[in-house]
Amino acid sequence: MNILISILMGILQGLTEFLPVSSSGHLVLAQHFLGVEQGENPMFEIFLHLGTLLAVIFYFRTLIWDLLRSLLSWGNTLDSHQHRRNRTMVVYLALATLMTGIIYHFAGDWFKSLYHKPLIVSFMLLVTGGLIFISDFVRHGSIPASQMGVIRSVIIGVMQAVAIIPGISRSGSTISGALFSGVKRSEAAQFSFLLAIPAILAANLSVFSDLNALSAKQFIIYLLGFIASFGVGYLVIAVLIRLIQSARLKYFAYYCWAVGGFSIVLILWGRF
């Protein structure tokens, strides 16, 4: 791993973590075509994911603070109605996260095995393209995220669990699940981004203990990837929210179909 590869992979992570094109799928294919052994640098992947995690926390810092403040505000105040809505939002986020965790508990090993199968990942990109293409034609919903109900939050949690499969976009699947359920477009995106916070943390907690094993040189290289993923990820969030509101996700569907199809051709031809 060198500095250039680290920065390029950080940019790739920042672009694909929140865009509905599957960051895990792109990382698997990039590692495959660049000749980087898959699973060789799990700590580096943690740095990349932490970069995008920090991006979503920083972008939604005001909303996150309001949600946390509402958890501690139970009295009758002028803002009591908003606090109740915020607490309900937190409950739905927790339910969706719990559903994802349950599915991962039973199918996690199978999910992990797919990270070594770039051909399957390529086909999953085609599936992602189909999913987000259809979502653009869903009528604009009117349900606020704070009123989505238990069933909708569980459905979104299931969609997030399915997206553990590399090639299936986490943002694409959760946003599509919310849109299919009638949630407002702007709030579907917001809920998806907030849902990413516990998902990314949970996926990476087990590797934090290896941080002390990094050499100073490795740390600097990984840190550059972290900075790249944070900066690009922050910009991507702002752009994606606008695209979701204007129902323009279908352009990412074309991209997923192109990348998935091209990768399938290259892999089947045996050139890589």
- Domain residue spans in the chain? 3-269
- The pLDDT assigned to 209 comes to 61
Give the residue, 265 or 32, on which the prediction is more confident: 265
Nearest CA among 27, 26, 10 for reference residue 228: 10
Place 177 in a pLDDT band, splitting at 50, 70 and 90. Answer: very high
Distances (CA, A) of 165 to 103, 120, 124, 250, 269: 12, 10, 8, 21, 24
Q: Is the pLDDT of residue 39 over 80?
A: no
Q: What is the pLDDT of residue 211?
A: 64
The arithmetic mean of pLDDT across residues 31-58, rounded, is 78
Question: What pLDDT, on the 0 to 100 scale, is given for residue 14?
Answer: 87
Q: What are the tens digits of pLDDT across the range 154-171? A: 999 999 999 989 999 988
3-state secondary structure of 183: strand
The type of residue at 76 is N
241-260 mean pLDDT: 88
% of residues, the chain, pLDDT over 70: 90
pLDDT mean across residues, the chain: 86
CA separation for the pair 235, 98 (Å, rounded): 29
Average pLDDT over residues 183-206: 84
Amino acid at 65: W
* 204/45 Cα distance (integer angstroms): 9
Q: What is the pLDDT of residues 109-163, one digit of tens each?
A: 898 889 889 999 999 999 999 999 998 888 778 899 889 999 999 999 999 999 9
Instruction: State the pLDDT at residue 261.
Output: 96
Q: 19: which 2 tokens?
A: 């865009």
Residue 272 has pLDDT above 60, yes or no: no
Residues facing 258 on adjacent strands? none
**Per-residue pLDDT at 78 exceeds 80:** no
pLDDT > 90: what percent of the chain?
A: 44
Buried b (16+ CB within 10 A) or exposed e, 107-124: eeeebeebbebbebbbeb
Decide: pTM greater than 0.85: no
Predicted local confidence at residue 212, as pLDDT: 66
Instruction: Give start and end residues of each alpha helix (H) in 19-169.
Output: 23-34, 42-59, 61-71, 80-113, 118-135, 149-162
Confidence band of 28 (pLDDT split at 50, 70, 90) = confident
* CA R_g for the chain: 19
Amino acid, res. 110? W
Q: What is the pLDDT of residue 75?
A: 63
Nearest to 25 by CA among 109, 173, 107, 124: 124
Q: Are 253 and 127 in contact (CB under 8 A)?
A: no
CB distance 159 to 101 below 8 Å: no
| SS3 of residue 121 by DSSP | helix
Higher pLDDT, 93 or 212: 93
pLDDT at 172 over 70: yes
